[in-house]
Amino acid sequence: MTCTSTACLSCSTNYIVSNGNCSLTCPNGTFLFSSTCTPCPNYCLSCTSSTSCSQCLNSSIILLNGLCYTTCPTQTYYTNNTCKSCYQTCLTCSGPSSSNCSSCITPYNLYNNTCLTFCPNSTYDSNYICLNCSTNCILCTDLLTCTNCNSGFYLINGTCRSTCPSGYYVETSSNRCLQCVSPCVTCTSRASCTSCSPPTYLSGNSCISNCTMGYYSTITNNCTSCLVNNCLYCTSTSCSSCISGYYSIYMNGALKYCQPACIDGTFTDNSTMNCSSCFDNCKVCTNSSWCNICSTGYYTLSLAGTSSN
């Protein structure tokens, strides 16, 4: 009953306003609300309210819970011209089962088409998707950062290895490769070196700056025991002196033994700590010119009034 120059604003009894005109019924795609034809929801051909569609525009559009969709909304999947609910933890899915998920609602994580509270071992959470850790890794924070390896493998720099590289040793309590302590080049534990970097030398299981008395250095930077027992200074082939309290015994001009007492056929020279040879066929002598006991088959000769044997 009221209008502008181009549109009707209110109509007579039994008529309703529709697109600026007065009509007996609302056209398709609209519904009557406060004596006015109001548009239905998107893609809806017939409805009774803005949230209650009864028929969509065509068969390719899906009617679900009073609304029309060109594709199924989240937490539903398309089947037999309709949308059905996914499993409760799925955000998107291909079917109703818990193993049909293609993405998950927060805070669940997708693993093998299933939504889990936590990613399983050997995987890590990447934006709510469980991705595989690196090979032989059981726990990781990303593909490049392993924190725990499978049994039989050792952790080093975020990766898992079957053996530790040179310069590292296996720390068995944590299955990690730990670096040897300088100047160790190789080692079996933090306190047990097996080789040293120059100019240090391996002595037992430690690296030292110089080989101690009784040892000589080799070309492999090892300290090796002198060949002659109780030797003080030596090379790989000879001993040059004995430790304090031991006597040097020479054979063919070379020091062959270091002994706490001189052996038969030699006498003690306390000034030099050498065992010098008695003369031939003498078993026990005082010096190089006086024999006390002869070797078997030989006899001492008395001189200057002494008795003979």
Cis geometry, peptide bond prior to residue 96 (ω within 30 degrees of 0):
no
Asked if residue 53 is part of any domain, the answer here is: no
Q: Determine, yes or no, domain membership for 75.
A: yes
Within a domain: residue 90? yes
Integer Cα distance of 121 and 248 in angstroms = 69
303 lies in which domain range?
Answer: 243-309
Instruction: Compute how many other C-beta atoms are within 10 angstroms of the C-beta atom of residue 176.
Output: 16
| Domain annotation covers residue 218 | no
Q: What total number of domains does the chain contain?
A: 2
- In this prediction, residue 22 carries a pLDDT of 78
Reduced to 3 states, what is the DSSP secondary structure of residue 58?
Answer: coil
Look at residues 87, 112, 132 and tell me which one is the last residue of a structural domain.
132
Q: Which of 132, 156, 176 is the last residue of a domain?
A: 132
Whether 104 maps to a domain, the answer reads yes
Cα distance between residue 101 and residue 89, in whole Å: 8
Q: What is the pTM of this model?
A: 0.58
Question: What was the pLDDT predicted at 305?
Answer: 36
* Dist CA 207 CA 162 (whole Å): 27
Residue 219 lies in a domain: no
Evaluate whether residue 24 is within a structural domain: no
Q: What is the CATH number of the domain that holds 105?
A: 2.10.220.10
The torsion angles phi and psi of 192, rounded to 5 degrees, stand at -135, 95
Give the strands of the sheet with 36-39, arranged side by side: 21-23, 16-18, 36-39, 30-33
Q: Which of 115, 132, 149 is the last residue of a domain?
A: 132
pLDDT score of 254: 87
Q: Determine the pLDDT at residue 307.
A: 34
| Residue 187: predicted pLDDT | 94
Is residue 95 in a domain? yes
pLDDT in tens, the chain (309 residues): 567 766 776 776 666 666 667 777 888 888 988 878 889 999 999 999 999 999 999 988 888 889 999 988 999 999 888 899 999 999 999 999 999 999 999 999 999 999 999 999 999 999 999 999 999 999 999 999 999 999 999 999 999 999 999 999 999 888 999 999 989 999 999 889 999 988 899 988 999 998 889 999 988 888 999 999 999 999 989 999 999 889 888 878 888 899 998 888 888 887 788 888 888 889 888 888 889 899 888 887 765 433 344
What confidence score (pLDDT) does residue 18 get? 67
Per the structure block, which two tokens stand in for 141? 């924070």
